[in-house]
Copies of this chain bind each other. A is one copy, B any other.
Amino acid sequence: MGNKLVGNAIVFTQGGPTAVINASWVGVVEGLRDAPADVLTGIWGSLHGIDGVLNEEFVDLRAQSQKTLDAVSRTPATALGTTRHKPNAEDNQKMLAVFKKYNIRYVFGAGGNDTSESLDLINDAAKASGYDLRMFHVCKTVDCDLMENDHTCGYGSAARFVANAFRGADLDNKAFGGIYLGVCMGRHAGFLTAAAALRRNEIADSGPHLVYVPERAFSVEQFVKDVEAVYKQHGRAVIAVSEGIEDKAHTPILQLLSSDKLEADSHGNVQLSGTGALADALVEQLKKHLEGNGIVKKLRARGDTFGYLQRSFTDLSSADREEALQVGWTAAQEALRGEFTDGSIAIQRASSNPYRAKFVRVPLKAVAGKTRHLPDEFINAAGNNVTEQFIAWGLPLIGENPLIGELDLSKKVAKK
């Protein structure tokens, strides 16, 4: 350990929960317990993110049993509560006063790029006032869109849900024929939508047959043509669409096809989740096109919006949970080590085959407020599907998969 900074530690969670954000902060707590009690006097949880600091609402995490912490680390959403509150300069000064009042010297925030930006601003305010503080960010987001990261804590479990949902929905669609369209989370990055293809199997007609991500401009006209081609070939089509798809002019397709007013959060993000409008609107377009052009008389078409289940479903990716514990633990160890006073703990890929991750400290400012996108080599040339490289990249992240079997339909009984 470097210089012995004596004081209390707080950990909080910020933004949209994931299935393993509890594992991240439990990892921090477990990593901090290595420090002698005369260095680290208290390990506290701030309730509802930075609001807990502003309101001086802290829960004593050393007072929780290991049994409780272990169970919480297997539980989706955040037991510490969360907020989307983006602190302004006045908030930062208030928080600094609270840090001083309680001698809080170690701060850990689990969140996405909005959170890392907030932490960076609070950290700058502390530095400017000469207050000695360790400030570490623990990567978290189902969107997988943080710079410097191969992938983020929470992505694996959300991707597991999406992959298994599409595996089941594809078989359901195959049993009936027709169209199934699923809308996935992902405002600016298509990682989660792309996960729809992770369990696509070897059989030629296996879906999803089309995958639309926000990294490529979406054209309703091209979309209905793409679906028409798949439908003509297989008598069915399974389609994954990101909630964040936009046209060439960067108008959200939901806005283009919907007459309703859209809600925005305090970061100025328009609400895309928690409404089934995009799926319904796209299904309507498909009916109009395929029925209108006489390709099918009455189209069986269904649209699902996966919504909040993607980030909160109880069936975690074991790989994701393990890594979340590791990232939290690494943040704690880095803070105690003291070589760096701040940073973000990123997950990087140490080896692709076999898959191995490493957990590295990167500067806060390298992550803060930036968005990472799907690499070009993960998207096919037509911009309507993912590549084999994406599958190879994503498959290790979603944990062990339920068995899937398919009949050999070539074993036909001869017609009389």
- Say if the beta carbon of A7 comes within 8 Å of chain B: no
The docked-state distance in angstroms from the alpha carbon of A230 to that of B102 is 35
In chain A, residues 27-61, which have Cβ atoms closer than 8 Å to a Cβ of chain B? 42, 44-45, 47-48, 56-60
Q: Which of these, B276, B313, B408, contacts A164 with CB under 8 Å? A: B313
- Say if the beta carbon of A374 comes within 8 Å of chain B: no
Give the interface SS of chain A, mostly helix, strand, loop or mixed: loop
A309 to chain B, nearest CB (A): 5
Residues A305 and B304 in contact in the complex (CB < 8 Å), given A405-B73, A413-B44: yes
A164 cross-chain contacts in B, Cβ below 8 A: 313-315
- Say if the beta carbon of A249 comes within 8 Å of chain B: no
A404 cross-chain contacts in B, Cβ below 8 A: 71, 74-75, 314
A172 cross-chain contacts in B, Cβ below 8 A: 17, 76-77, 308, 311-312
Residues A59 and B409 in contact in the complex (CB < 8 Å), given A102-B416, A174-B81, A316-B402: yes
Q: Which of these, B274, B303, B306, B403, contacts A71 with CB under 8 Å? A: B403
Residues A309 and B308 in contact in the complex (CB < 8 Å), given A60-B411, A175-B17, A413-B58: no
Specify which of A45, A47, A70, A172 lies most central, judged by the most chain B CB atoms within 10 Å of its CB.
A172
- Say if the beta carbon of A64 comes within 8 Å of chain B: yes
Residues A72 and B315 in contact in the complex (CB < 8 Å), given A168-B77, A172-B17, A174-B77: no
- Say if the beta carbon of A356 comes within 8 Å of chain B: no
Question: Are A72 and B175 in contact, CB atoms less than 8 angstroms apart?
Answer: no
**CB closest residue in chain B, given A164:** B314
Question: Are A277 and B274 in contact, CB atoms less than 8 angstroms apart?
Answer: no
The docked-state distance in angstroms from the alpha carbon of A243 to that of B280 is 16
- Say if the beta carbon of A407 comes within 8 Å of chain B: yes
- Say if the beta carbon of A415 comes within 8 Å of chain B: yes
Specify which of A76, A167, A168, A308 lies most central, judged by the most chain B CB atoms within 10 Å of its CB.
A168
Q: How large is the interface on A (under 10, 10 to 19, 20 to 34, 35 or more residues)?
A: 35 or more
Residues A413 and B60 in contact in the complex (CB < 8 Å), given A303-B274, A308-B172: yes
The docked-state distance in angstroms from the alpha carbon of A64 to that of B58 is 61
Kindly report how many copies of this chain are found in the complex they form together: 2
- Say if the beta carbon of A283 comes within 8 Å of chain B: yes
Question: Are A308 and B68 in contact, CB atoms less than 8 angstroms apart?
Answer: no
- Say if the beta carbon of A147 comes within 8 Å of chain B: no
In chain A, residues 51-109, which have Cβ atoms closer than 8 Å to a Cβ of chain B? 56-60, 63-64, 68-84, 101-102
A167 cross-chain contacts in B, Cβ below 8 A: 314
A42 cross-chain contacts in B, Cβ below 8 A: 413
- Say if the beta carbon of A216 comes within 8 Å of chain B: no
- Say if the beta carbon of A337 comes within 8 Å of chain B: no
A48 to chain B, nearest CB (A): 8
Binding site for B on A (CB under 8 A): 13, 17, 19, 22, 42, 44-45, 47-48, 56-60, 63-64, 68-84, 101-102, 164-165, 167-169, 171-172, 174-176, 180, 273-277, 279-280, 283, 301-309, 311-316, 401-409, 411-413, 415-416
Which A-B residue pairs are the 4 nearest by beta carbons?
A: A276-B276, A71-B405, A274-B302, A168-B312
Listed A/B pairs (17) with beta-carbon separation below 8 Å:
A63-B408, A75-B403, A75-B404, A77-B171, A79-B175, A79-B406, A81-B174, A81-B175, A82-B176, A102-B413, A164-B315, A168-B309, A172-B311, A275-B303, A276-B276, A276-B277, A304-B307
